[in-house]
Structure 1
Amino acid sequence: MIKDNQKILNRIHIIIDGILIILAFISAYSLRFHLLKGMPFFEIEDSEKFYELYKLLPYLYILVPAYLIIYSSCNMYKPQRSNSKRIMVWNLVKANFIGILVFISILWLTKELDVSRKFSATFMTVSVLYGALFRFILAKILSEMRRKGFNQKHVLIVGYSRAAEGYIDRLAGNPDWGYHIYGILDDIMEVGTTYKKVKVIGTTDELQTILEENDLDEIAVTLSINEYAKLEYLVGVCEKAGAHTKFVPDYHNIIPTIPVMEDLDGLPVINIRNVPLNNSFNSIVKRLVDVFGAIVALILFSIPMAIVAIIIKCTSPGPLIYSQVRVGLHNKEFKMYKFRSMVVQTEKSEKKAWTTANDNRVTPIGRFIRKTSIDELPQLFNILCGDMSLVGPRPERPYFVEKFKEEIPRYMIKHQVRPGLTGWAQINGFRGDTSIRKRIECDLYYIENWTLGLDFKILFLTIFKGFINKNAY
């Protein structure tokens, strides 16, 4: 069945990848030394360059096998049914980057040092483009075949639970993945019970018989959490039958995020929440970007900030800068700075007050600077001091932190990273008097999926979505 198809597909992949690497090599040479200079490839007067290509071609005897080994180690030949195109392209770029380092090392060892660095870069770029184009076309063809019922992977589900329903939902919602669910085995649900056209066909005691009588591609163990005592036995039955087995844990209500597994001297340990910024390198890189960005922003906005400061001073009695205690990284309190946009209040009256539409405490200039987020610009100094970051969850006052942490179970997770001047929640419209739960969902997504690229994306979108917002009162 699908196992044999996958083997054939992998062999085709390897052969075509080998051909594409050779074509990329020749194409890169043509681009670098001929086409970009407006010269035909077989220019007689440029025979010296043609000789150089002829001299380099023998390196392909080493390069092609090396690239194929690298492709394999970068998971390019594993089943890609449920993987996103982004992951596929990233693996391809990673493999070609390693490959070009191998190529440069070979040139250095053979003392062929006159090969252009531009040629190496062109070869890598063309190789990625050829490889991505081939895989996109192949994925499209396979997707259409699977939609029509061909190249299906036959799956048996063991255990009816929330995990089983979630697994079925995703397979049913992505027919191009090509999964056909044979049925469900469960000891509690009655035989014949159906969920999205998938039936309970028996009990877990029948697992061995079903494996012997059917050629199934995959077994998905989706026991409910109170049935985990059966797990060792069921996995043993699957292993004895030589079946490819997956375990889909039923802990979504306990561990609601993507867990990360680590090896503790042979003992697997699940981290309930992955926080990329706990990594020292990531944290240092983000901090450097924050400092540089804050300095640049202060220079760019110095004149608007000076104008706003003068207007505030001339139109409303009281201090120019307003500081308020907020809760930041590791639940530590700090003073967050803003241009004052409200009339002066007592600390007691403002401590528990939530700003709403048409709030009579907001001054006329205050209404404008709040709507345009100009009042937040002094927080650039908070960023330089290390209390805040350019991007992160917005910090809240201690009173509301105490209130929300009792109402929203995962609220306090936001304090595992520095609070931000802008964030994923803000560019998605959750700012001001909006749903706290939705805001926290956005904050958790940011915390668990942080990359420098995501920070730049949020900063870019803030220009269009974050500065002016209908919910900023």
Structure 2
Amino acid sequence: MIKQNQAYLNRLHIFIDAVCIYLSAFLSHKIRFEWGKDSWISKLFFFVGKYELGFSYYQKTVIITIIILLLLYTFFGLYTPKRYQRGSREIVNLLKANLAGLGIGSVAIVLTKLQNFPRSLLLLFFSVNFIIGVLSRFTIRKVLNSTRESGRNLKHVVLVGFSTSAAAYIDRIKANPHWGLYIHGIFDDTISDNFEYRGIKKIGLLNELEDYLSQTPLDEVAITLNLDEYEKLEKLVAICEKSGVHTKFVPDYYNFISTNPYTEDLDGLPVINIRNVPLTNVVNRIAKRTIDIIGSACALIILAVPMLIIALLVKRSSPGPVFFAQERVGLGNKPFKMYKFRSMGVQDPKKEATQWTRPNDPRVTPFGKFIRHTSLDELPQFYNVLRGDMSLVGPRPERPLFVEKFKEEIPRYMIKHQVRPGITGWAQVNGFRGDTSIRGRIEHDLYYIENWTLSLDFKILFLTVFKGFINKNAY
């Protein structure tokens, strides 16, 4: 059923992409040689020279380009099923494919010394092709989602076993009708015959599964056994594979395993790593540290004068030092001194280490309240980044006393110490700053740790600049 539909859709999608690429080439030729003359377009793409060749001259090049781009689209996963794939991920892969094509085209022009092929035409073509590609994929996604929501092109599924993972699986399917998944029911030995969860009912015992699969055409079986029944897993997998139906395993320990665990081949033995931390990779660490050094050094130079003015105003606001150094827990659970501009009167270190700042806290000076609210008190932390105690982006560090408290109360809290703490982070740009939910903050920190990329760091820095400085939860 669904496999045949997917094959037809893939062929149709490839055909649509080929048409879009051809259309992009035609439009680029029109813009470059006809519509773009003496216009802002000619200035934008640096059109120079005079070419009077018609579109037919470029036909062979266009055909070769279509073949190369379709291969690149395949390589970058643009023809994988779109049920669960995010639209943003598809756009990123489309951009990668077009950039790769632009690189290949540029090299080919230089090596083959193609005549009558202006570089501006190549740049214009890939720009137009990316835009048309985005529009076509957006349209295809909308049509498919609408089709599935109306009850067509459905994937038929049964669940084997009922557990917390089964409930979570059903919840997500119900929340995303555009996935087009229809659950026929549940096979389980532990629930009652009249059991029902969100409209999904029990349809049999585990020993009835084999007969059901032989008589009912399905697209997928999701094994969602309770941990206590895992001794039945091998037999159930054998039954599913014997029937030829595609089988998925949804583990009942999803609440503590990462969303993207990776496996290692230990001489034929698959080993699942509970958590994937991209920053354990040496290349990733070097790239991030390089950005930290360059970024913090530039920030300290650019902000030298504003920081000097803030320092003078802090000194005038109340007696005491300009800077405030507080012990925080960083990478590898190691303590370090984190620096801020002092925003309070001088405190007893023992009392200060055990107290949260509260609304209308009398310890905060008037100028201190301003720099806390605008996050200007955090500027000295660029020095921490330059030293290597912190990163520009990462989970915010906490005081040792509260680390000891939270690690006992909040599952997976200590995972945040597998990376350097940051001046800003994914939790902060999503509103978890100051007196906000610790659990919500940790969930965002874990997402960042498991899904780190340089592009995510730049996105967080961008969001920090435009919405992260003013802290409404700072007292």
- Hey, what's the Cα distance between the residues in 1 that align with 2:247 and 2:191? 22
Rate the CA distance shift 1:375–1:130 in 2: closer, same or farther, 3 A: closer
Percent same amino acid among aligned pairs? 55
Which of 161-170 and 30-39 deviates more? 30-39
Q: Match for 1:16: what amino acid?
A: I
Contact 1:341 1:370 in 2 (8 A): yes
1:91 equivalent among 87, 90, 93: 93
SS at structure 2 position matched to 1:91: helix
SS at structure 2 position matched to 1:50: coil
Deviation (angstroms), 1:238: 1.7
1:449 equivalent in structure 2? 451
Contact 1:324 1:335 in 2 (8 A): yes
- Hey, what's the Cα distance between the residues in 1 that align with 2:460 and 2:63? 46
Rate the CA distance shift 1:54–1:200 in 2: closer, same or farther, 3 A: same
Residue pairs, 1:58-457, within 5 angstroms:
58-104=60-106, 106-107=108-109, 110-112=112-114, 115-255=117-257, 257-457=259-459
- Hey, what's the Cα distance between the residues in 2 that align with 1:424 and 1:445? 8
Residues 88-121 of structure 1: CA distance to partner in whole angstroms, max 9, x if unpaired?
A: 2122223333334444455456442663333222
1:42 equivalent in structure 2? none
Which of 275-284 and 77-86 deviates more? 275-284
- Hey, what's the Cα distance between the residues in 1 that align with 2:267 and 2:23? 45
2:45 equivalent in structure 1? none
Residues 430-453 of structure 1: CA distance to partner in whole angstroms, max 9, x if unpaired?
A: 333333222222222222222333
2:42 equivalent in structure 1? none
Residues 22-46 of structure 1: CA distance to partner in whole angstroms, max 9, x if unpaired?
A: 222222233333322259xxxxxx9
- Hey, what's the Cα distance between the residues in 2 that align with 1:91 and 1:464? 26
Rate the CA distance shift 1:229–1:108 in 2: closer, same or farther, 3 A: farther
Deviation (angstroms), 1:200: 0.9
Residues 157-200 of structure 1: CA distance to partner in whole angstroms, max 9, x if unpaired?
A: 11111111111111111112211112111122223311111111
Residues 350-372 of structure 1: CA distance to partner in whole angstroms, max 9, x if unpaired?
A: 22222222223223332222222
2:23 equivalent in structure 1? 23
Q: Match for 1:469: what amino acid?
A: N
Which of 346-355 and 332-341 deviates more? 346-355
How many pairs does the alignment contain? 466
Deviation (angstroms), 1:202: 0.5
Deviation (angstroms), 1:461: 3.0
- Hey, what's the Cα distance between the residues in 1 that align with 2:13 and 2:173? 25
Rate the CA distance shift 1:60–1:450 in 2: closer, same or farther, 3 A: same
Rate the CA distance shift 1:293–1:69 in 2: closer, same or farther, 3 A: closer
- Hey, what's the Cα distance between the residues in 2 that align with 1:371 and 1:155? 52
Contact 1:391 1:419 in 2 (8 A): yes
Residues 374-425 of structure 1: CA distance to partner in whole angstroms, max 9, x if unpaired?
A: 2221112111111112222121222222222222232211111111112222
Rate the CA distance shift 1:104–1:463 in 2: closer, same or farther, 3 A: closer
Unaligned runs of 5+ residues in structure 2 are 40-48
1:49 equivalent in structure 2? 52
Rate the CA distance shift 1:422–1:204 in 2: closer, same or farther, 3 A: same
Q: Match for 1:165: what amino acid?
A: A
- Hey, what's the Cα distance between the residues in 2 that align with 1:328 and 1:312? 27
Residues 68-94 of structure 1: CA distance to partner in whole angstroms, max 9, x if unpaired?
A: 333233322222112111122122223
Q: Match for 1:49: what amino acid?
A: E
SS at structure 1 position matched to 2:66: helix
- Hey, what's the Cα distance between the residues in 2 that align with 1:128 and 1:368? 46
Residues 324-348 of structure 1: CA distance to partner in whole angstroms, max 9, x if unpaired?
A: 2211111122111112222223332
1:43 equivalent in structure 2? none
Deviation (angstroms), 1:455: 2.4
- Hey, what's the Cα distance between the residues in 2 that align with 1:74 and 1:427? 30
